Structure 1
Amino acid sequence: MIKGTSNLKKTWKLLVVAGAGLILSACGNLKNSSLANNATTTSSTRTKTYQTTNTGKNGYTVLLKNGRYVTSPISGLTATNNDNSVDGRELERGLVQISKNVYSPNNYVFQEGQYLDRSTVIDWLMRKSKTNPNGLNPVLGTKKNYHPYYLEEILEQDYLTGSGSNYKIGGISIGLAMNSVDYYQKVKDGPQYQQSISRATQKAQGMAMAEKIIANLRKKKALKNIPITVGLFSKTSKDSLVGGSYFAYGTAGANSSKIAKWESMSVKWQVLPTIGGAKAVNSNDASGFNSFKTAIQNYFPNISGVIGNLRYENGKLVQENISITTQFYGYEQIQSFTRLVQSTAKKYLPSDTAVEIKIGSVDDVQALVAKEAADSDYQVHIYGGE
């Protein structure tokens, strides 16, 4: 059953454009995330106005229409109800990073996908059958030979070129979210079973699906002569604490419906502190996190938890996300603690890595401390205050 969710994705209670800025710049860049501070009117006519808004260093400029952020009609569609809460952001962020290898932020502007419609994507996500010959997921099979849902979600991102009143599509990126585990029931209301899907199977299925999707897109006049990039994303299990990651991508050149070469990617997430005897990917990173954690807990003992999610690409730490759960609500307490977190992060956490630190209670986000990889100083925002 296809599940549809709202197109408006609320991330830490920021406006949708600001949220897009966080994703497009690959880090929570507070100083550049405000539409009001960065919007620039580039052209206008009687019927429409184009605007662009910057999203920080090395990020894409976002194209607005009539002053509004344009959302994708297929946003939130998934093949099953077994989706987790941590894959979505990484699915989007990772595809933006892949796109930078093909569509330079210096030459292209970003817009959420507008060429795939809901009806088409719903058909693709459903199982193939006599009534749905376009289904990309296989027929159900039997109780003894169950065929899993391989494809869970499809993401489209558009990259445009131009200026003034003339913008045209210059390239498209498609993200295919492939299940690593499929959950199913043999009988209605019966026990839930699960089937693991190997990386080799994910890759083979994803590559075959990519060709079918590209061939479909080529039927559209505007898309016949542009490059189309496809990334293959491995979703994590529904109880995972960290998001999945892309493991391969490729680009079909103009006029082609085939990807001649697929590039492999090595992305790994780790949760700190490690549990169950797991070994840290990098002992220095783990030591720095533990020192940071100890320092803030010694100063403010009424902290419920400090958890770090670290992302490594080709063995190098490129992003460190830390969530701190507090048990205090007074403004002065939050302000004092946030300043402590800022100074402690600068002392113990990597200086050449993008870092996001979210401070909040169980019910609400109270403050955000963040920096990009190239920055030496952290930006701070206290909700309801600074």
Structure 2
Amino acid sequence: MKNKIIALLCAIILLAGCVPNNSEDEEVLQNDEEGTEQQTFIVPSNQLSNETYPIILPYETSEARGVITNQMANRVDIDEMEQGLMRHSKEVFDPEKLYFQEGQYLTTDDLFSWIDGLNPARLTEEEQEDMDQEEKIDYYEENPRYLSHILEQNYLKRKEKDNTVEVELEGMSIGIALKSVYRFQTETGGPYYYEDIPMKEMLEKGKEYAQTLVTNIREKEGLADIPIMVALYREEDQNSPVPGNFVAKTTVNTGDVIGEWETINEEYILFPSDEASKEYLDDYELVNSFGNEIAQFFPNYVGFIGEGFYIDKELQKLVIDIPLEFYGKTEVTGFTQYTYGLVQDMFSNYYDLEINVTSSNGAESLIFRNAGDESPTIHIYD
């Protein structure tokens, strides 16, 4: 009970720190694309951290809103592409100096036109009629559609002019989503076929597409000279419980010719899994031991699902979801207290840790610890 009270007090303090102080909010102006009209926006005075981009309000959604859900089949890939692109953008666009805004320059028509134009053509009805089934399969296997989606993010800078404060575009990030598995049909309503796409082949195509896209973007008004950060994202299979990851990035400061690419060595690993046991045996055994400790004292425990995020083979964040069936809040409190003790005894604090306890009623409790913190924070939901 004491832990629960402490957790609730911590949550209140945290929420109080995040409440905007409207008296310190700032009004800024932004020119439209032609520079003839200005819109008034508000920059909230509060920011979650120096590593988080502030945003301007009212929040403006992307000009190509919704395209990503049409193009990418796995929700975890969608989330990681959006969040991961922002994470990599911080190395080019300083979150302490710039504001974030969803893409405002590439339209839905742009994206669909470019995606269809860069990918191999689908067979027309006439072509399909002239081919037998084996010929159709051969065609699609030899001409996979590598490109899934193009994601735009904008970064704005503050500028004082004539006793007013304005924001203007400082730079743009472009994420290019590429398939690791190509799924296709040879006829509408027919069975699906699957073709694995090797990393090397995907990278070659992705870099080729990136060059074309940068050239196209430079032709748009207002985008001729801004820095453009481009990152290639390799999707996971559409049924994967963990997302894919970014594999390469580059920045084009001027002109439209892409120079050197930087390799990105990051990945998401499912626990438990064969891949985890082969690639990260120590972490695999630790997480399994954690589950075994819980199983000894809680008969309604059936298992867990874990996800580790690695950069250069070093664990950066571990998330563990534990589904249980509870019959009262005292049981939730007892389980959370016991799990808290295991976290203290078993898990190192050089990476972020998050443990979500759920039941059929939804979220029951949360234990989290940021890298470097000595003790976790607990929250038990009402």
Partner SS, residue 365 of structure 1: strand
User: Which blocks of at least 5 consecutive residues in structure 2 are unaligned?
Assistant: 1-12, 30-37, 124-134
Cα 1:296–1:49 shift into 2, 3 Å? same
Listed one character per residue, the Cα deviations across residues 178-207 of structure 1 (whole Å, up to 9, x for unaligned) are 001111111222221111111122112211
SS, match of residue 79 in structure 2: helix
In structure 2, the partner of 1:36 is: 19
Bigger radius of gyration = 2
Identical aligned pairs, as a percentage? 30
Partner of 2:272: 273
Report how far residue 301 of structure 1 moved. Answer: 2.5
Q: What does residue range 280-319 of structure 1 map to in structure 2 within 5 Å?
A: 280-319=278-317
Please provide the CA RMSD for this pair: 2.8
* CA deviation after TM superposition for structure 1 residue 81, in Å: 6.8
Question: In 2 relative to 1, CA 76–367 (structure 1 residues): closer, same or farther, beyond 3 Å?
Answer: farther
Q: TM-score, normalised by structure 2?
A: 0.80
Structure 1 position 222 matched with structure 2 position 215: no
Give the letter for the 1:36 counterpart.
V
Counterpart position of 1:96? 86
Per-residue deviation, 1:35: 5.3
Distance 1:251 1:313 in 2: 20
Whose helix fraction is larger, Structure 1's or Structure 2's? 2
Q: How far off its partner does 1:375 sit?
A: 3.0
The one-letter amino acid of 1:292's match is: F
For residue 181 of structure 2, what is the aligned residue in structure 1? 181
- 1:153-212: CA deviation from partner (whole Å, max 9, x where unpaired): 222211122167321111111111100111111122222111111112211221122122
In 2, the alpha carbon distance for the partners of 1:89 and 1:344 equals: 30
Structure 1 residue 352: Cα displacement: 0.9
Classify the secondary structure of the residue corresponding to 1:246. strand
Against the structure 1 CA distance between its residues 120 and 183, is the aligned structure 2 distance closer, same or farther, given a 3 Å change threshold? same
Partner of 1:206: 206
Question: Given that residues 230 and 251 in structure 1 are in contact (C-alpha distance below 8 angstroms), is that contact kept between their aligned partners in structure 2?
Answer: yes
Please say if residues 252 and 260 of structure 1, whose CA atoms lie closer than 8 Å, have aligned partners that are also in contact. yes
Say if 1:55 and 1:334 are closer, same or farther in 2 by CA, change over 3 A. farther
Partner of 1:112: 102
Alignment of 1:344-383 (within 5 A): 344-362=342-360, 364-383=362-381
Following TM superposition, by how much is the alpha carbon of 1:57 offset from its aligned partner in structure 2, in angstroms? 4.4
> After the TM superposition, which residues 120-159 of structure 1 pair with which residues of structure 2 at under 5 Å, given as runs?
120-125=110-115, 127=116, 135-140=117-122, 143=136, 144-146=138-140, 147-159=143-155
Structure 1 pair 251–38 and aligned structure 2 pair: CA distance change class (3 A) = farther
2:44 is aligned to 52
Partners of 2:16 and 2:80 in 1: CA distance? 18
Give the aligned residue type for 1:248.
Answer: A
Contact 2:270 2:276 in 1 (8 A): no
CA apart distance, 1:97: 2.1
Deviation at 1:31, TM superposition (A): 4.1
* TM-superposed deviation, 1:75: 4.0
Deviation at 1:41, TM superposition (A): 1.1
Deviation at 1:318, TM superposition (A): 1.0
C-alpha distance 368-181 of structure 1, shift in aligned 2 (>3 A): same
User: What does residue 231 of structure 1 align with?
Assistant: 231
Please give the per-residue CA displacement for 1:1-27, whole angstroms capped at 9, x wherever unaligned: xxxxxxxxxxxxxxxxxxxxxxxxxxx
Give me the whole-angstrom Cα distance separating, in 1, the residues matched to 2:207 and 2:193.
Answer: 27
Contact residue 25 and residue 45 of structure 2 kept, 8 A: no
Amino acid at match of 1:124: W
2:34 is matched with none
1:72 aligns with 2:62: yes
Q: CA deviation at 1:320?
A: 0.9
Deviates more, 1:240-249 or 1:99-108: 99-108
Q: 1:104 deviation in Å?
A: 2.1
Paired with 1:304 and 1:53, the residues of 2 have a C-alpha distance of 46
**1:79 to partner: Cα distance:** 8.6
Find the partner of 2:334 among 333, 336, 342: 336
CA gap of 1:311–1:53, structure 2 versus 1, over 3 A, is farther
Equivalence map 1:182-197=2 (5 Å): 182-197=182-197
1:125-167 CA distance string (max 9 Å, x none): 3x3xxxxxxx221112561311222111222211122167321
> Shift of the alpha carbon at 1:91?
1.1
Question: Displacement, 1:372?
Answer: 2.5
Instruction: Answer yes or no: is the 8 Å Cα contact 2:54–2:98 preserved in 1.
Output: no
1:279 aligned counterpart, secondary structure:
helix
- Most deviating of 142-151 and 316-325: 142-151
2:158 counterpart residue number: 162
Higher mean alpha-carbon deviation, 192-201 vs 216-225, is at 216-225
Aligned residues: 343
Which runs of 5 or more structure 1 residues have no equivalent in the other structure?
1-29, 128-134
1:53, 1:230 → 2: CA distance? 30
Classify 1:307/1:117 alpha carbon distance in 2 versus 1 (closer, same or farther; 3 Å): same
Q: Is the 8 A contact 2:310 2:316 kept in 1?
A: yes
**Correspondence 1:240 to 2:240:** yes
Q: CA deviation at 1:309?
A: 1.0
The Cα shift of 1:70 comes to 3.0
Instruction: Tell me if the contact between 1:248 and 1:262 (Cα under 8 Å) persists in the aligned partners.
Output: yes
Q: Distance in 1 between matches of 2:180 and 2:266?
A: 15
Query: Aligned-pair distance for 1:32?
Result: 7.4
Greater Cα offset, 35-44 or 69-78: 35-44
State the 1:380 CA deviation. 3.3
The residue type equivalent to 2:26 in the other structure is T
- Closer, same or farther: CA 73–55 of 1 in aligned 2, 3 Å: same
